[in-house]
């Protein structure tokens, strides 16, 4: 049901962008491409600028939601993450490099989640190149429950991992890296770049980026320790559309306490800092003294304090009108939230790539 709801939203996003584009300052670059490095002019008001910048963001999520890369990321359920298993070993690219193709043989799994010899090495390479049916990508559960040969399955999805290592121990140490690109039916559908590490004494950090094949990029990152921070950015080949960052410091009670929040939308920056009475709003670098901003959170969880999930921004413009960012970004917020959740939890990597890598490693060592 959740997947159906998201795809219904895709059509609504297109309608919303069309309506919004009629109300903003005419921009031929926006009309033709949906994005521009020229995010506004000095003569535009804060209201005009935010409408223009939000329209670009909505357009970006409309185009992203139409890609196969979005469908791949949205297909994961996160219930089979290999990082949550008792795996305790080290794998790097040299141990699993080669060209592999999916094929069932006599050694089929006797029960779900068994590691079977489903991939046969058909060539050599310095990379890990895996060819498998797209059915296993969009419906990961099938990969773990192959029980018979199916002549209708074609190896029409290719994963090429040019860098990979997975180091994991039971002593709360973890180090992970993945650089991979994806091809569906001979067409490039984007790539995934992940760096993630954790240590009980120093904290954890992660940086996950998906490059869509239409020139858009979504990046999520975070770190924990004495100070913590998280960030989300939506960029294109021509510039940054949205950037959100939250910084935390450990409170006297031991839990992270937010001390700085920054949201950049096009040429507008909204900043809230502990110790400063008001929330500051900048337009083209100039402080907007008459603008009023209120930040609200529907969740007390620090990790959820993002406009992609439970945070909202209410803006009062010079003319006295009031709007909320959630209203301006609706319904593309559903697409935004889905993507951020998938990348933060590294579902595609853990559900698909790690499972395949462990299978190849186990069967060859």
pLDDT of res. 159: 97
Q: Is the peptide bond before 37 cis (omega within 30 degrees of 0)?
A: no
Q: Which of 31, 54, 69 is the last residue of a domain?
A: 69
Q: For the chain, 365 residues long, give each residue's pLDDT as a single digit of tens.
A: 444 444 434 344 443 443 443 333 333 334 444 444 445 555 789 999 999 999 999 999 999 999 999 999 988 654 444 443 444 568 999 999 999 999 866 445 544 445 556 888 999 999 999 999 999 998 888 887 776 677 778 999 999 999 999 987 766 688 999 999 999 999 999 999 999 998 877 788 999 999 999 999 999 999 988 789 999 999 999 999 999 999 998 776 667 788 999 999 999 999 999 888 889 999 999 999 999 999 999 876 655 689 998 899 999 998 899 999 999 998 899 999 999 999 998 888 888 899 899 888 887 76
Q: 209 near 181, Cβ under 8 Å?
A: no
Same domain, 46 and 80: no
Same domain, 157 and 269: yes
Same domain, 135 and 205: yes
Same domain, 30 and 121: no
pLDDT in tens, 163-200: 999 987 766 688 999 999 999 999 999 999 999 998 87
Same domain, 49 and 83: no
Same domain, 74 and 48: no
Number of domains in the chain: 2
Same domain, 55 and 150: no
pLDDT of res. 72: 92
Same domain, 77 and 114: yes
CA angle centred on 123, ends 121 and 124, rounded to 5°: 110
Same domain, 39 and 75: no
Same domain, 124 and 148: yes
pLDDT of res. 254: 67
pLDDT of res. 171: 62
Same domain, 173 and 253: yes
Q: Which of 69, 91, 118 is the last residue of a domain?
A: 69
Structure tokens at 273: 């800092």
pTM attached to this predicted model: 0.84
Q: Which of 69, 90, 112 is the last residue of a domain?
A: 69
| Structural domain containing residue 42 | 2-69
Same domain, 87 and 127: yes
pLDDT of res. 34: 42
């Amino acid at each position: 049901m959740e997947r159906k709801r998201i795809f219904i939203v895709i059509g609504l996003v297109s309608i919303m962008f069309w309506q919004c584009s009629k109300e903003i300052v005419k921009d031929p670059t926006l009309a033709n491409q949906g994005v521009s490095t020229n995010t506004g002019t000095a003569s535009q008001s804060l209201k005009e600028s935010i409408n223009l910048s939000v329209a670009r963001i909505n357009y970006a999520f409309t185009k992203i939601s139409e890609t196969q890369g979005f469908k791949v990321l949205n297909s994961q359920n996160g219930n089979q993450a290999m990082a949550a298993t008792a795996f305790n070993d080290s794998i790097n690219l040299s141990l699993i490099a080669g060209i592999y193709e999916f094929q069932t043989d006599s050694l089929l799994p006797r029960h779900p989640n068994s590691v079977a010899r489903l991939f046969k090495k058909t060539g050599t390479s310095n990379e890990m190149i895996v060819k498998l049916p797209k059915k296993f990508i969009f419906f990961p559960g099938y990969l773990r429950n192959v029980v018979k040969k199916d002549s209708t399955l074609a190896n029409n999805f290719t994963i090429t991992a040019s860098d990979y290592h997975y180091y994991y121990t039971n002593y709360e140490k973890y180090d992970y890296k993945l650089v991979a690109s994806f091809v569906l039916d001979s067409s490039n559908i984007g790539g995934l770049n992940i760096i993630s590490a954790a240590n009980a004494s120093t904290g954890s950090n992660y940086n996950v980026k998906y490059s869509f094949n239409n020139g858009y990029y979504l990046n999520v990152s975070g770190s924990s320790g004495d100070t913590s921070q998280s960030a989300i950015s939506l960029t294109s080949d021509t510039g940054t559309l949205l950037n959100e960052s939250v910084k935390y410091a450990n409170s006297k009670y031991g839990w992270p306490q937010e001390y700085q929040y920054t949201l950049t939308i096009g040429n507008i920056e909204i900043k809230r800092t502990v110790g400063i009475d008001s929330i500051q709003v900048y337009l083209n670098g100039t402080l907007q003294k008459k603008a009023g901003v209120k930040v609200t959170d529907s969740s007390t969880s620090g990790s959820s304090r993002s406009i992609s999930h439970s945070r909202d921004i209410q803006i009062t413009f010079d003319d006295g009108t009031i709007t909320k960012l959630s209203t301006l970004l609706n319904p593309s917020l559903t697409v935004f939230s889905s993507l951020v959740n998938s990348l933060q939890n590294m579902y595609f990597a853990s559900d698909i790539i790690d499972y395949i890598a462990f299978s190849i490693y186990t069967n060859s060592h």
